[in-house]
Structure 1
Amino acid sequence: MHVLVVEDQPKMQDLLRQGLQEAGFAVDSADDGPAALDRALGGAYDAVVLDVMLPGVDGFEVLRRLREEAVWTPVLMLTARDGVPDRVRGLDAGADDYLVKPFALSELISRVRAVIRRRSAPPAALRCGPLELDPTARTVAVAGTRVELSPREFAVLWLLLQRQGAVVTRADILDQVWNAAPDVGSNVVEVYVRYLRDKIDRRFGVELIHTVRGAGYRLAPPP
């Protein structure tokens, strides 16, 4: 089995590499976000051990981009932060498991084996009424008619579909889709939701994307 270890601290990277190799894994490594993306997009790995705090591009963004490119390799995220919001953010981004530092090497190896064992097929299409989104083929259709979306529009719609029926805040969309980039204006979420409504709700005469005043947006099927 072939594992990619992404860790910017040399001592920790060496420890993980040695432990996984002794457990029978072939191991490649990367020490920053761009290198991790390059390796994970170009190589066939059975699992990725991904640290959150990385130079260049952090682990959350690495994971988001991998899933955006339909790379479904199991990912075990590592972090020094044990707050619930960080764990939720990682799992929402597509992580298969989450391990907080410090940890026992034996536990990490056990968890890597576990995420590989339960590796699933690419996620099934998501549906809401006549709307269907296929994350593997990266296609969207309403009542069988194809809808062309930009990558950002697709990402916003995917997030709303994943949390169908629940309120998704503007801050959460900004964080998940734009990674809270400092150069992104505060109204960008409203702009992209309007784009989606033009292409889906208004074009097909349906009402799927609902504004929850003072809170955010909710995707729900027609009554």
Structure 2
Amino acid sequence: MRILLVEDDATLRDVMLRSLNDAGHRVDIAGSVEEAEYLWRVQPFDAVLLDLNLPERAQRGSGQGSGLAVLRQARSRGDRTPVLVLTARDRTEERIAGLDAGADDYLGKPFDLAEVEARLRALARRAQGTQDVALLGRLRLDRRARRFFVGSEALDLPAREFEVLWELMSPPGHALSKRTLSDKLSGFDEALGDNALEAFISRLRKKLAGSGAAIRTLRGIGYLLEAEHP
């Protein structure tokens, strides 16, 4: 997934960044209201991890962190990206305020990184209408384990090929443009070019031979993962 991590605590941010990268996600980070608002406007994300207590532009007299303002602004322009709010605050009224502002889930600090990952998976399933296990032919994706299998055999893939196939399998049967795939697999300052993407697709096609799943090129549109026709 392409994730925006909005957190001003540099130590916590670095720990979360390493954990999310290790789990195979592409992460952009923002440490202030201004950075969060800018990144959220110019880049589509699959999910946002949002700290409520951000520096700058705190709402005076409200008792709420300025992260709420970022969230309200995104929702007001029609952005429905799933949001998991992270905060040290644990008062009921503040949890309610976050949910009322448009958050999809709420996690108080301190938290377990495994729980963050689990909640992100749940938000992604809800937003995409997917399940923990996806099947196409003999190809199976276990999202909890973050593994692909062909029948009972594990399909071990380099990180970028794994990410491409994950996106095409979430869910299978829907077309993704080259631009969408590139955006999801690029960092904010590191773009994935068309040539590199085509090379990953070419290698994946060879590795999927005999799996009952095939990647089809849709001219002028992008790519589609579908059941292989006999």
**Shorter-chain TM-score tier:** 0.5 to 0.7
Corresponding position of 1:21 = none
CA contact (8 A) 2:183 2:191 kept: no
Q: 1:161, CA displacement in angstroms? A: 0.8
Q: Does 1:38 align with 2:15?
A: yes
**CA contact under 8 A between 1:36 and 1:62: conserved in structure 2?**
no
Separation of aligned partners in 1, 2:154 and 2:165: 14
Letter in 1 for 2:223: Y
Specify which of 166, 176, 182 is matched with residue 174 of structure 2. Answer: 166
The one of 190, 198, 204 equivalent to 1:190 is 198
Q: Are the aligned partners of 1:52 and 1:78 in contact in 2 as well (CA < 8 Å)? A: no
Q: CA deviation at 1:129?
A: 1.7
RMSD: 4.4
Task: Check 1:54–1:160 CA distance in 2 against 1; reply closer, same or farther (3 A cut).
Answer: farther
Separation in 2, partners of 1:217, 1:169? 6
Aligned residues: 164
The answer to whether the 8 Å contact 2:173/2:226 transfers is: yes
Q: CA 1:166–1:62 in 2, change beyond 3 Å: closer, same or farther? A: closer
Counterpart pick for 1:214 among 201, 211, 220:
220
C-alpha displacement at 1:136, in angstroms? 2.1
Contiguous gaps of at least 5 residues in structure 1 = 1-5, 8-29, 43-50, 67-75, 98-103
- In structure 1, what is the equivalent of residue 116 of structure 2? none
2:176, 2:155 → 1: CA distance? 22
Query: How big is the shift at 1:217?
Result: 0.5
Q: Is the 8 A contact 2:176 2:222 kept in 1?
A: yes
Q: Deviations over 1:93-145 (max 9, x none)?
A: xx458xxxxxx96531557997259x698661221121101122221111222
Distance 1:155 1:220 in 2: 17
The counterpart of 1:199, out of the listed 198, 203, 207, is 207
Query: Is residue 107 from structure 1 mapped to residue 97 from structure 2 by the alignment?
Result: yes
- Cα deviation, residue 36, structure 1: 2.2
TM value normalised by structure 2: 0.53
Structure 2 gaps, min length 5? 20-27, 50-67, 86-92, 108-118, 123-130
**Looking at both structures, which has the greater relative contact order when contacts are Cα pairs under 8 Å and sequence separation is at least 6?**
2
Matched position secondary structure for 1:188: helix
Instruction: Note if contact 1:206-1:222 (Cα within 8 Å) is conserved in structure 2.
Output: yes
1:78 aligns with 2:71: yes
Distance 1:62 1:169 in 2: 15
